[in-house]
Chain A
Amino acid sequence: MLWWVAQIMVCMSMLELARKSRRTGLSPIVLALPVALFVLLCLSSDTFRSLENLANVNSQITALMIASLGQGIVAISGGIDLSVGSVMSLTSAILVTADPAWGIPLALAMGVCVGLINGFGVTLFRVHPLVMTLATMTFVQGVALLLHPVPGGVVPGYLRTLAVSQVAGMPAAFFWCTAAILLAWFLLTRSPLGPRIYAVGANPVSAGRNGIAVMRLKVACFVLCSLSAVIAGIFLTARVGAGDATMGAPYSLDTVTAMALGGIQLAGGTGSVLGVVAGVITLGLISNGMNLLGVSPFLRAALTGVLLLMAIGLQRREAIGA
């Protein structure tokens, strides 16, 4: 088994990733980890290999994927957003309490508001993003619980169809994931905003002198992140089929874990969509695999921590910016 892992790592490093890793943060280990986990799980569990389970993994990680892509954009711009989970929770609460026709627009508007508050707090009032988003996280969580204290309620039927139906033999989750990944990828690598986000993350002062509206860009990143959290919340609520004002709670930190596994540096300026995808898949496989192998939930948490440390320890950390 170890031989496999070693083999894959050697192949990856031969891809000469090092040269490009300056900005993408993609080290061989980032990409090898999900592949190695996948191979390992295939070999050790028959159930894992079944198409059914793979579709299941896909839909399990979709919410995390969408939220993490938003987190990734904020991280590359040099921030961090801990309110992601609460925004998902509040989205869920809104969807089951509001009029079905208004649920989604309301949730999106809420996302824009939270993003604006985070963004202005960080830029205009110079609160550290960690503190700022911790505050909104707590506040938004409170609002969600006020709005919808007991889990339950009815999710609009069309949403349920959008989240759990199958299209051409593929689970709908697959299309949600793909769309989100493509959007984020376009934004970071094809649109003119891409280089600017990287620039602001690496050095906001220099970026400003290059004529970039640093404040506006940072605010926009926070808004995008909150919006992606809203969409992740919509998907999750639809998949679960009921509203729950705490359903997003674990996502605040899970998205950050995915950043670490994906080589996205919280100092800003380094990271890539491929990294986010790799990080999310790694995290998803760990939890699905341990579930299948019958590892107890407590041990699971501890093992995830150890794996995270190992993965980060193996990454080549290169300070950027100044």
Chain B
Amino acid sequence: MSALVCAAMMISFDKVSKRFGSNFALRDVSFDCEAGSVHAITGENGAGKSTLMNLLAGLFPVDGGEIRLHGKQLSPKSPADARSLGISTIYQELTLLPNLTIAENLFLGREPVRLGRIDRSGMREQARSMMARLGSGMDIDTYCGNLSVADQHLVEIAKGVSADADIFIFDEPTAALNAPEVEKLGELLASLKAQGKLVFYVSHRLDEIFRFCDRVTVLKDGRHVETRETRALTRDGLVSLMVGRVLSKFFPARPARSEAAPVALSVRDLQVQEGGPAVSFDVERGEIVGLAGLEGQGQRDIIRALSGLEPSASGMVIKSGEAGSAPLAFDVTKTVRSGVGFVPEDRKTEGLYLSLSIDRNITLGMLRRLNVWQLVPRRHDVIAELMRRLNIRSAGARQEVGELSGGNQQKVMIGRWLAAGIDVLLLEEPTRGVDVGAKAEIYELLREFTKGGGAVLTLSSELLELLGLCDRILVVRQNEIVAELDGAQATEEEVMRHALVGRADNGVHVDA
């Protein structure tokens, strides 16, 4: 068996083109990939990375050129066909079904069958060991709809790697994961490589590309820019290949803070759940505050409670803005009406209307202050300006948001609130799936927003992002704020120390 897989299997792309309507998503892309290697695909949002991978996955046919496997033409007709050809794909957007259990999702479409019935016990046993390989002890009988986005991505990865395949595609698998899980994924990639498989690894995260991948292909605007050994590249070299220019500064400068900035959001004794610990903090106008901590320590709950998504929350939240101060109710509609915008981590199911056009999605934000009988304003000028500032890659303002690349969807989501004239922005994972160039643009936009008197509260699984962006960092551990750090001075070690250390003495608080 090993003789077979060791024979350097090769995929080659030969002048591959793909068109959507009149737009070329890919144009004459040619490069080769070797078996037994991890091949990174990177490039800006909308560069065509997912499109290229989806051709392999059988979602749609090649329009021009061809893909060859071992020199023979490869044209999978459907995802099922691709799977039977030995190609396993982990899509950028989640494909888990919310109403199936983890075990059922893992085996969907290839259920183990005995005597015409699903072999449930065998299936659950295998599912458990698949999850264990990823170091996860999740209950495989829970419905996937009840899992956090990070956990869903883990299940998605488990599903992908367990397939009996020769080619594995990972389309931004780590966008929702944090450090320890990324480590595990690294080990998995190494073991796949050792078995002589070919792994495609799509990512914006440079450190992962350099750590996990042997070669890297850069795409830009649907064209092939470079394929190189990662060893022969530097970080800055890779960034300039991707962006086409040298990024001088990634994070915008923090403006000097005057002492007496007015408070935009005053949170007192916020309890997400009854009987849980209470948190209190302020967010001033002109300030970006980050909630840091390990995954699942309660940062998300705090932001969700403020956005009104946790009706069981209690406490006193006062929002002050141009229109005066008022307590916030724990109710989404009222929260939005009083000028607080919320960007959820899972934009696909919680934030965007995928079948509506870009301009409509943005206009939705402006509707918040209208009554039902008022006409919807058609602010083409505002939208065009916003799309230009956000640098949204699209066929035009009328394109459906569902057709945009992942990173561009995120920009539309943020754009909606910027157009809505809100003054407090709650952001979960502000740059998930966003390319380096666009990240810098989003940071710049957020800075501009705060310079205009807005306030931002954000959380991110990328600590470096919080350190670079925020004025202040609140470290959350077990639903409590355990430290407040100055964003300009804080270091990674310092944040992690607060996030991790003192678990023992902290136990006392938790039991109480």
Contact = CB atoms under 8 A, between A and B. Distances in A.
Interface of A: 22-23, 186, 190-192, 194-196, 198-199, 201-203, 205-213, 269-270, 320-322
B423 interface: no
B99 A269 contact: yes
A209 B146 contact: no
Most A-side CB within 10 Å, residue of B104, B109, B118: B109
Interface of B: 57, 59, 78-80, 83, 89, 91, 94-100, 104-105, 108-111, 113, 116-118, 143, 145-146, 348-349
B311 to A, nearest CB: 15
B77 to A, nearest CB: 11
24 contacts: A22-B99, A22-B146, A191-B116, A196-B108, A198-B97, A199-B100, A199-B108, A201-B99, A202-B97, A202-B98, A205-B95, A206-B95, A206-B96, A208-B79, A209-B59, A210-B97, A211-B79, A211-B110, A212-B108, A269-B97, A321-B98, A321-B99, A322-B98, A322-B348
A22 B145 contact: yes
Contacts of B111: 192, 195
A217 B289 CA distance: 50
Given A211-B110, A212-B109, A320-B145, A194 B98 contact: no
Contacts, number: 85
A170 B143 CA distance: 40
Nearest to B82: A211
B145 A211 contact: no
For B96, B105, B143, B145, the residue with the greatest tally of chain A CB atoms inside 10 Å of its CB is: B145
Given A191-B116, A191-B118, A213-B78, 15 more contacts: A22-B146, A23-B99, A192-B113, A192-B118, A196-B108, A196-B109, A198-B97, A199-B99, A199-B108, A206-B97, A209-B79, A210-B105, A211-B80, A320-B145, A322-B349
Contacts of B94: 206
A207 B95 CA distance: 7
A199 B94 CA distance: 14
A294 to B, nearest CB: 44
A156 to B, nearest CB: 32
B408 to A, nearest CB: 19
Contact of A207 (B97, B110, B113): B97
Contact of A213 (B80, B89, B105, B116): B80
A194 B109 CA distance: 11
Given A22-B143, A199-B100, A210 B118 contact: no
A209 B118 contact: no
A209 B79 CA distance: 6
Nearest to B81: A211
Given A192-B113, A195-B104, A322-B348, A212 B80 contact: yes
Contacts of B349: 322
Nearest to B84: A211
A198 B118 contact: no
A270 B96 CA distance: 16
Contacts of B117: 186, 190-192
Contacts of B108: 195-196, 199, 207, 210-212
B189 to A, nearest CB: 22
B146 A194 contact: no
